[in-house]
Structure 1
Amino acid sequence: MAVQDIDQPQEMDLTGYHLHDLTDVVIPDDTKVLELMTNRLREIDERILSLTGLQRLSLRQNLLTDARQLSDSSFKASLHSLVLHDNQLTQIPLLAGYTALETLELSYNSISSLQPLTSLQSMNLEELYVANNAVQQIEAVQHLTNLRLLELGSNKIRQIQGLEPLQQLQELWLGQNRITQMSGLDQLTSLRRLSLQSNRLASMAGFEHCIHLEELYLSHNGISKLEGLERVVNLRVLDVSNNRVTEVEGLESLQCLRDLWLNDNQLPTLDSMEAPARAGALGSTLTCLYINGNPATAQDAENVKSRMLAAFPKLEQLDDSMVCH
């Protein structure tokens, strides 16, 4: 029996049917949204390519090894969202003519280069996801000046480069790469979220011009000193867990900070953790604090809770435990 959409002719959701092909599927010519997630498709049906008004195409979790067919589609001028997440692609398809594209999702493939993105001329693109691939350098995105979100986590990138024109960028995700320096961020003054977790950073220096940052994630690096925080006065979340920090300093200007992750560092005493409160910082704002895994918490475990609550009376969570006042 043919698999057909029974709700709205313009929207087809064939998620999870485990289809190997679409031979028995009726695809209406006026389809606007086509969801084909979690199937077994190895190629894109020619009837899909002929749809002139398609706005969203999701082929997430299939078995595509090649998406070059998309270069000759009939929906170039209408497609807003293209999802090719979790396939077996080794190359980004050429997307010349896709002028309406707003979201492009290419994560969890085997893509090694961003170079084919030079063909994409959509000034509407706001979100680009290429996480969990084998990308070696940031390239071919300079012309995508309306990007709001760029996700390149879990790749093989060693250097932050080529992002200067992306002055509308609000979220930059670069966790689990091979980056040694936080450089190339000077022009990204609109950034709200920055993630460089699990890289090879020895210093926090480099984000000082990102003055609108609200969330900064730097866990699992080799950072020994907190620095560069004086101008990011809107920061709400700071994660420097699993580093080599020995002193809590430079937080005086963070009057909006709510979440502070300092666990698994090298803070020697509880005095060092109370330093922000003594400097008049965080006492009225901090609601979540992670400090376990430091020498200080091991040495004076029985006093950790009482002293932290005295220093930061607004705490609602201390490590893994909710705080009852």
Structure 2
Amino acid sequence: MASVESNSNDGVISKQLLKSKSGEFDVESIHTLNIKDAGISDVGCIGECTSLERLDLSYNNVSRLHKLAGLSALVKLNLAANRISSLEGLQSLENLQSLNVSGNLIGSVDCLRYLAGLEKFTSLRLQDPANGLSNPMCNMSYLDGVLMMLPVLITLDGQRVRGRGSELFQLCKHMDQAMYNFKSVNASSMPEVGHDATHDVDSQQWMLDIGGEAKVQEAEENLRAMLDGCKQLSNKAALVLYDSEEARPTDTSEISS
């Protein structure tokens, strides 16, 4: 793997820099680049790395992606923690399978339209809570819109959302919505208590109601913890299945009887 440091004077990646840091005589021969946290604001001539398959540009100051258009062999791209509000330029990356854009300025599902025509694109990360990275669009409900925009997507934010392994994710989604509706209904029907509450409800019955509410809340928390554990196990199992399917030979002549 080639590790690249930017020119501290201008933050632009040059052809000479790519050659010297990668050890390759031709930029066309570079397959993997790690340019993480290097003060990059302009990707420069990186589009000339026509054999590049894996690129890490995370934790930089990149805002425009149009110069990545020449990376037709790119499979995995990490753009986390930059200043990106538009994905224009990625629509020509016909082999792109995985993209991380957590920690950017993407404001709506419509910003993802440049990925809609990529037939091999299966994995997208918009937020990464473990590293405190998100996007403005993640402050609202976005799952259904993303799935509609990207019909071949399999993994979103590290969770399997289509295919084998996605059933538990969908179940947890419905459970979360049901719990939210349950809490909303109970909150709206809860009587207000003032100094003269004893004139409206029997104090003993009121205490029983409070105790019942606490038990319901505890049950909800236990159920959610159980579902989270099941979800993690399901995601791990789905990844194992996915990897095994990828490794399986598709040419029947390669399989001996």
TM-score interval for Structure 1 and Structure 2 normalised by the shorter chain: 0.5 to 0.7
The separation in 2 between residues aligned to 1:318 and 1:100, in whole angstroms, is: 40
Instruction: Within 5 Å, give how 1:1-325 maps onto structure 2.
Output: 56-59=1-4, 66-70=11-15, 73=19, 74-118=25-69, 121-158=70-107, 159-175=111-127, 176-179=134-137, 199-202=138-141, 204-206=143-145, 207-208=147-148, 210=151, 213=154, 215-217=155-157, 234-235=165-166, 238=169, 245-247=176-178, 267-268=182-183, 298-300=214-216, 317=229
The structure-2 alpha-carbon separation of the partners of 1:245 and 1:89, relative to structure 1 and needing over 3 Å to count, comes to: same
1:205 CA drift (Å): 2.6
The separation in 2 between residues aligned to 1:70 and 1:240, in whole angstroms, is: 50
Over aligned residues, Cα RMSD in angstroms?
A: 4.3
The structure-2 alpha-carbon separation of the partners of 1:80 and 1:237, relative to structure 1 and needing over 3 Å to count, comes to: farther
After superposition, give the CA deviation of every residue in 1:258-290 in whole Å (9 maximum; x if it has no partner): xxxxxxx56439xxxxxxxxxxxxxxxxxxxxx
1:234 CA drift (Å): 4.2
Conserved in 1, the CA contact under 8 Å of 2:52 and 2:74? yes
Conserved in 2, the CA contact under 8 Å of 1:297 and 1:304? no
When the two structures are aligned, how many residues end up with a matched partner? 184
The separation in 1 between residues aligned to 2:99 and 2:163, in whole angstroms, is: 21
1:65 CA drift (Å): 5.2
Conserved in 1, the CA contact under 8 Å of 2:6 and 2:40? no
Higher normalized helix content (fraction of residues): 2
**Matched residue type, 2:2:** L
Fraction of identical pairs, as percent: 22
Provide the TM-score with structure 2 as the length reference: 0.56
The separation in 2 between residues aligned to 1:212 and 1:202, in whole angstroms, is: 17
Provide the TM-score with structure 1 as the length reference: 0.46
Higher normalized strand content (fraction of residues): 1
Unmatched segments (≥5 aa) in structure 2: 20-24, 128-133, 185-211, 232-257
The structure-2 alpha-carbon separation of the partners of 1:138 and 1:103, relative to structure 1 and needing over 3 Å to count, comes to: same
The separation in 2 between residues aligned to 1:211 and 1:145, in whole angstroms, is: 13
